[in-house]
Structures are given as structure tokens and as C-alpha cells.
Structure 1
Amino acid sequence: MLVGVPKEIKNHEYRVGLTPASVRELVARGHQVIVQQDAGAEIGLLDEQYVAAGAAIVGTAREIFARAEMIVKVKEPQPAECAMLRPGQVLYTYLHLAPDPEQTAALVKSGAVCIAYETITGQGGGLPLLAPMSEVAGRMAIQAGASHLEKSKGGMGLLLGGVPGVAPGHVVVIGAGVVGTNALQMAVGAGARVTVLDKNVDRLRQLDLVFGNRISTLYSNALALEKAVLSADLVVGGVLVPGAAAPKLVTRDMVSHMKKGAVIVDVAIDQGGCFETSHPTTHADPTFVVDNVIHYCVANMPGAVARTSTFALNNATIGHAVALAGKGWKQAMADDPHLRQGLNVCEGKITYAAVAQALGYDYVPAESLLN
């Protein structure tokens, strides 16, 4: 198979779909790989390294899309990229379609076979292709939040860990999944007072066993959530419903009663966000203020640490890339029900139930398209 890797064009996105090591894995199995010029240059993955791994360097994204049978990316295709997709071409990347009707419509129109990293499941449960970026984003959420609590960034002028004789800041983490766990690890390490909320009591027990009295665990209901948010200096939203739009758990009214200069970091913004006041931002302009509360809602947070993120992502994605290239998408999905969960749009049809429900499309099971 001819596999193409275009350079990412989303604002301040420096990750790349395949590393040279991943290219070598594909080439060693008899596949061809074309990589857009300087696709990884910003993170030290140079064209010479890709050539040494067996790839050919191509000058433009248009040539990549025109020639490749499978496109491997990181972020969802931008409108110009959607316009270059063709019927039957495989797109393997993050998509986050439920809150994005424009992208969904463009992918349906393209006729391409669109596989979303974030809905591929794992043998032991969970979402293994989403997990590494959730780990990065959860850890970054505390870095970003701590930075924007500084007065020069518009915050209340609070040091998250405090100092002897001065109380630390209060971090509230909504959701005890991968994002939440990594966020609370960083917050505990910084010396903050940490509260984590989730509806999964077994998960809260696990965290209590690991962290003990260094954190407070709360079952998430409307009253507990409101009390925690109103007492917080930094709130991290890490709630995920796989493939679906994130629930709006923190209302505009709650935000209006938060402390002046408090910070919200909405890691769920890729799926629409879990705060009513959230809207996507970019690394170039990462924050906005609502009711004196700073909102950090960057939709590609791991892009800020693009080198770490690229290697972590490739560790998770290369196995399925090899299967898709070696078997073709139909056989690969017939053989692997976990990979099949990644099929979101296929030849003009919506094949993921949560996306169809969120956006009002007819749902066509992926299994029906594999024969």
C-alpha cells in the first residue's frame, strides 16, 4: 500500500502522523511511504531521517492526497484537506466528529473511509489510541492552569503549591479517567490541595488506595460538583463519553459564582467541552474570560509538547497502521473488532452510533460494509 503523511496545518500543530521508526515498520513489510517535506522538522524529525527509513519526500500536501491510498495524520482534517480526500481513500487520524457538523459533512461528501483514533477500543477495555494524548493533556492541564493563575496572565496571583505558612491552591478535577488521573498526579506533585469527582465509585476507591489523604474523592452529583467548583482555584474538566459530545456538567451560573481570577482548563473541548461557557481556542490565543474566570480551552493541547506527543502517539497507532496497510481496511476490520470501532465515516455513511445520534444522521453499522 502507498501510505501518505501530510504536514499538519492546524494552528500551532507540530506533531506528525508517522515517525521515521514507524515508516521503517511499514517499509520493512513492503509498503511505500511518502512524507510531505518538513512534516516533522519542527520537532527534530528531519527529511533525511525519513529518507533513511525508506520514505520518499514529496513537496506538497496536494500530491500526498492525490497519490496515497491511506493518509496518516494526527489532527482532524481541515476544510482544505477534506476537499482533497477521494472516495475509497483511507483516512487514519483523530476526528472528534460529534461536536463538528461541518467536518462530518465534508467527510461524508468525500466518500473516504475515515477511521478515528479516539474510538478504537482495546482488548483490556479503554481507548488505547486516545490514552497517550489524554496522559499528555492531563499533565499539561496543571502546567497551563498554574501558569494562568499568575497575575501577569490574568489570574488571581496564586502559587498552586503555596509556601510554608500560606495555604496551597485548590485543584478540582472532574472525571477520574486517564486525563483526570494524570492531572491529579501533577497537582499532588505540585503540592496543591486536590479534589477529584467521578460517578465510578470503584475508580475513586482505586485512587484513594494510591493517593490516600493527599486527595479528596467525591461521588459526582450536581450538589457536590457545584460546591467543589465554587471553592476551586483551578478546575480541570476531563469527562469523556467515547465518540459523543461531552456533557455540559458545569453551568454558566456556576462559573458566574466562581472566584475572581480562577482558572478553568477544559480538556474535553475536542468533544465540545464540559463547561457551558467553553469554546475552542488555539495555542496562539489560548484563553478568554467569562465572569472574571479564565478559560483555557485549547483543542490540541498535546501539540504544545509535540515531540513527546508524536512518539507517544506512534507507539499506540503503528500496530493498526500496519494492519490496515497489509490487509486493506475491510479485512483488517473484519479481523479486529477493536479496530472496527474506529470506523466513523465510510463511503458517505456514518458508521459510529454516537456520531449519528449527535448530528442527526442515519446510523449504518460498520459490519454491514465489510462484505
Structure 2
Amino acid sequence: MLIGVPKEIKEEEYRVGLTPNGAKALIAAGHKVFVESEAGEGSGFPDEEYKSAGAEVLSSAKEVWQKAEMIIKVKEPQQSEFNFLKPNLILFTYLHLAAFPELTKILQDKNVTSIDYATVELEDESLPLLKPMSEVAGKLAVQVGAHFLEKKHGGRGILLGGTEKTSPANVVIVGAGTVGSNAAEVALGMGAHVVLVDKNASKLEFLKGKFGHCGGRLSTLLPSDINFERAIIEAHLLIGAVLVAGDRAPKVVSEEQVKKMKKGSVIVDVAIDQGGCIETSKVTSHKNPVFVLHDVIHYCVPNMPGTVPRTSTLALTQETLPYALEIADKGFVAAVKENQALYKGVNVYKGKIVYQKLAEVFKEEFVALESLF
């Protein structure tokens, strides 16, 4: 198979879809890999490493897209890349299509075989290709929150861990999945008091046991709990970490609740990739990462892991490469027939929406993937 790796062009996005070692593995399996020049520079992989691995380095994105039968990326195609999309192209990347109706329509119109890393799902309902970036985003959310809590950045002037004689900051994390649990780990490690909120009582109980060594600084709540709003009002840092795979994130914190938060408090909405789980959130960027509304700082950057590209690329590609090899070795149809997790990753095929939650979001007809083979 002919495989293309273009340079990411989303603002401040430095990750790359394939490492030189990944290219080497695909080439060893008999495939050809085309890499856009400088695609790996931001992650510390110069062109020479791809050339040494046997890949062909091309000077333009257009060449890569034109030659490729499968494109391996990190982020969804940007508007300037729409013209490169073509019938029967296999697009393997993070898509988050529930937040991008225009892109979804274009993928349908151009008959692009669209596989979203974020909806590849194992039998236990875990999301193996989303997990590594969720780990990174969860850890970063606390770092970012601590940064913007500093007075010089407009924050309340609170040190997350406090001191021996002053109280630590209150960190409220809504969602106890991979993002939330990693955020809790870092916040507790920095000495903060953490309130972890999730509708799954068993998950909360498990995490309470896991972090039991933190001296009672972890509290847990169900969203229905009468104390949920009070926790938000008292939060110095509020982290939105709610995920519904393939769907828009539900709004779990209202604007009225945000209005009641302390001046100079910080919101980090990690769920912004899927529309955000806090009512006041709107997309920001690494270049302009925050805005202030109701005296509360909002950080809503959708590609947070892009700011630590070396770690993120290595973590991501370790998980995506086996699936890319399977698609390349077997072909798309055989690969998804034999791998149920990969089957669930397919969102658009032959112009139809084949992922049920996505069809529901856009109120479009859902077509079962197997009916199109």
C-alpha cells in the first residue's frame, strides 16, 4: 500500500502521524511510505531519519496526498487540505466529526474512507488510540491550570499545593475517565485538594482506593449530589473531562454555575475537542489560549497534547502503528472485517455515515458498515 504522512498544519500542532521507526516497519512489510519534508521536525524527527528508514521525503503536501492510498495524520484535515481529499482514500487520524459538520459532509461527498482514532473501541469499551492523548491532556490540564492561576497571568494568585500553613487550591475534575484520573493524579501530587465527579460510583470508589495515600485530599461526588454546585463555586481550578465516544460532549456545568465561581479562577475544558462540557467554553488556540468570561479564565485548546509533541507522538504512534499495519497488509475491507475494534473506528464510508452516534448527532441516516461491502 502507498502510505502518506503530511505535515500537520493546525495552529501550533507539532505532532506527526508516523515516526521513522513506524515508517521502517511499514516498509519492511512491503509498503511504500511518502513523508512531507519537515513533517517530523516538530517532534524531533528530521527528514534524514525518515530517509534512513527507507521512506521517500517529498517537498509538498500536495505530492504526499496525491500519491497516497492511505493518509496517516494526527488531526482532522484543515480547510486548505480539503481539496486533497479524493474518492477511496483511507484517512486514518483523529477526526472528532461530531464537532465538525462541514468536514463530515465533505468526507461523505468525496467518498473518503474515514477512520477516527477516537472511536476505535475494544470489547471492554476502552479506547486504545484515544487513551495515550487523554493521559497527556489530563496531566497537562493541571500544569496549564496552575500556570494561569498565577497572578501575572490573570489568575487568583493561588499556589496549587499551598504551604505548611496555608490551604491548597481546590481542584474540581468533572469526569473520571483517562483524562480525569490522570489530572487527579497530577493535582494530588502537587498537593491540591481534589474533588472528582463522575456518574459511575464504582469508578469513583476505585480511584478513591488508588489515591488513598493522599491523606484525605481526594473527595468524590456524583453529578446529582447536592454538593456538586458548591464544589464548582469553591473551585480554584475546574477541569472538564467528560467524554462520550463519537458524540458531542454533554454540558455538565452551566453558565449560571460559572458566574458563581471566584474571580480569577481557571477552567480547563479538555472536552473542547467534542464541543466542550462547560456551557461557557469556546475554542481557543495555543497562540491565544485563554479568554475571560464572568471573571473566570477559560482555557479551551483542542489540541493540548500538541504542545508536548515528542512525548505525544511517541505515545500515540505506539498504539496506532499496529492498526496501520493491519490496514496496509490486509486492505481496508479485510482489516475491519477481522478487527472489531477497527470496525468501530470507521465513521464515513462510501459517502455514508456508518458510526451510529455520529448519525444521531447530525440527524442523518445510519448505514451499517457491513451492508456496504
* Bucket of the pairwise TM-score, normalised by the shorter protein: over 0.9
Q: Measure the CA separation in 2 of the matches of 1:223 and 1:14.
A: 43
Contact 2:263 2:296 (8 Å CA) reproduced: yes
Q: Which residue of 2 aligns with 1:239?
A: 242
Q: Which residue of 1 aligns with 2:343?
A: 340
The structural deviation recorded for 1:83 is 2.0
Which structure 2 segments of 5+ residues have no match? none
Q: Measure the CA separation in 1 of the matches of 2:228 and 2:271.
A: 17
Q: Measure the CA separation in 2 of the matches of 1:175 and 1:203.
A: 10
Q: Measure the CA separation in 1 of the matches of 2:370 and 2:285.
A: 37
Q: Measure the CA separation in 2 of the matches of 1:15 and 1:189.
A: 27
**2:174 is equivalent to residue 174 of structure 1:** yes
Q: Compare 156-165 and 299-308 and name the one that shifted more.
A: 156-165
Contact 1:281 1:298 (8 Å CA) reproduced: yes
Q: Which residue of 1 aligns with 2:325?
A: 322
**2:152 is equivalent to residue 152 of structure 1:** yes
Q: Which residue of 1 aligns with 2:189?
A: 189
The structural deviation recorded for 1:181 is 0.3
Q: Which SS does the other structure have where 1:33 is aligned?
A: strand
The structural deviation recorded for 1:323 is 0.5
Contact 2:122 2:340 (8 Å CA) reproduced: no
Q: Measure the CA separation in 1 of the matches of 2:257 and 2:349.
A: 40
Q: Measure the CA separation in 1 of the matches of 2:226 and 2:31.
A: 56
Equivalent position to 2:308, from 305, 318, 321: 305
Contact 2:97 2:358 (8 Å CA) reproduced: yes
Q: Which residue of 2 aligns with 1:119?
A: 119
Q: Measure the CA separation in 1 of the matches of 2:102 and 2:74.
A: 19
Residue 256 of structure 1 aligns with an amino acid whose one-letter code is: K
Q: Measure the CA separation in 2 of the matches of 1:77 and 1:263.
A: 30
The structural deviation recorded for 1:99 is 1.8
Q: Which SS does the other structure have where 2:208 is aligned?
A: helix
Contact 2:272 2:281 (8 Å CA) reproduced: yes
Q: Which residue of 1 aligns with 2:220?
A: 217
Q: Which SS does the other structure have where 1:188 is aligned?
A: helix
Residue 263 of structure 1 aligns with an amino acid whose one-letter code is: V
Q: Measure the CA separation in 2 of the matches of 1:225 and 1:270.
A: 24
Residue 202 of structure 1 aligns with an amino acid whose one-letter code is: S
Q: Compare 106-115 and 309-318 and name the one that shifted more.
A: 106-115
Q: Compare 120-129 and 185-194 and name the one that shifted more.
A: 120-129
Contact 1:169 1:233 (8 Å CA) reproduced: yes
Structure 2 matches for 1:275-290, cutoff 5 A?
A: 275-290=278-293
Q: Which residue of 1 aligns with 2:271?
A: 268
Contact 1:47 1:57 (8 Å CA) reproduced: yes
The structural deviation recorded for 1:43 is 2.1
Q: Compare 118-127 and 90-99 and name the one that shifted more.
A: 118-127
Q: Which SS does the other structure have where 1:98 is aligned?
A: helix
Q: Measure the CA separation in 1 of the matches of 2:2 and 2:221.
A: 50
- Would you say how many aligned residue pairs link Structure 1 and Structure 2? 370
The structural deviation recorded for 1:361 is 1.6
Q: Which SS does the other structure have where 2:347 is aligned?
A: strand
Residue 226 of structure 2 aligns with an amino acid whose one-letter code is: L
Residue 37 of structure 1 aligns with an amino acid whose one-letter code is: S
**2:367 is equivalent to residue 368 of structure 1:** no
Q: Residue deviations 1:213-239, cap 9 Å, x none?
A: 231111221633212111100000100
**2:143 is equivalent to residue 143 of structure 1:** yes
Q: Which residue of 1 aligns with 2:4?
A: 4
The structural deviation recorded for 1:47 is 0.5
Q: Compare 215-224 and 153-162 and name the one that shifted more.
A: 215-224
Q: Measure the CA separation in 2 of the matches of 1:330 and 1:252.
A: 46
**2:47 is equivalent to residue 47 of structure 1:** yes
Q: Measure the CA separation in 2 of the matches of 1:355 and 1:124.
A: 21
Residue 172 of structure 1 aligns with an amino acid whose one-letter code is: V
Contact 2:192 2:217 (8 Å CA) reproduced: no
Q: Residue deviations 1:164-207, cap 9 Å, x none?
A: 11111000010110000000000000000001011111101101
Q: Measure the CA separation in 2 of the matches of 1:300 and 1:289.
A: 20
Q: Measure the CA separation in 1 of the matches of 2:14 and 2:110.
A: 26
Q: Measure the CA separation in 1 of the matches of 2:106 and 2:232.
A: 38
Q: Measure the CA separation in 2 of the matches of 1:258 and 1:28.
A: 56
The structural deviation recorded for 1:81 is 1.4
Q: Compare 350-359 and 217-226 and name the one that shifted more.
A: 217-226
Contact 1:82 1:110 (8 Å CA) reproduced: no
Q: Measure the CA separation in 1 of the matches of 2:208 and 2:164.
A: 26
Q: Measure the CA separation in 2 of the matches of 1:61 and 1:224.
A: 52
The percent identity for this pair of structures is 50
Q: Which residue of 2 aligns with 1:60?
A: 60
Residue 21 of structure 2 aligns with an amino acid whose one-letter code is: A
Contact 1:83 1:106 (8 Å CA) reproduced: no
Contact 2:22 2:317 (8 Å CA) reproduced: yes
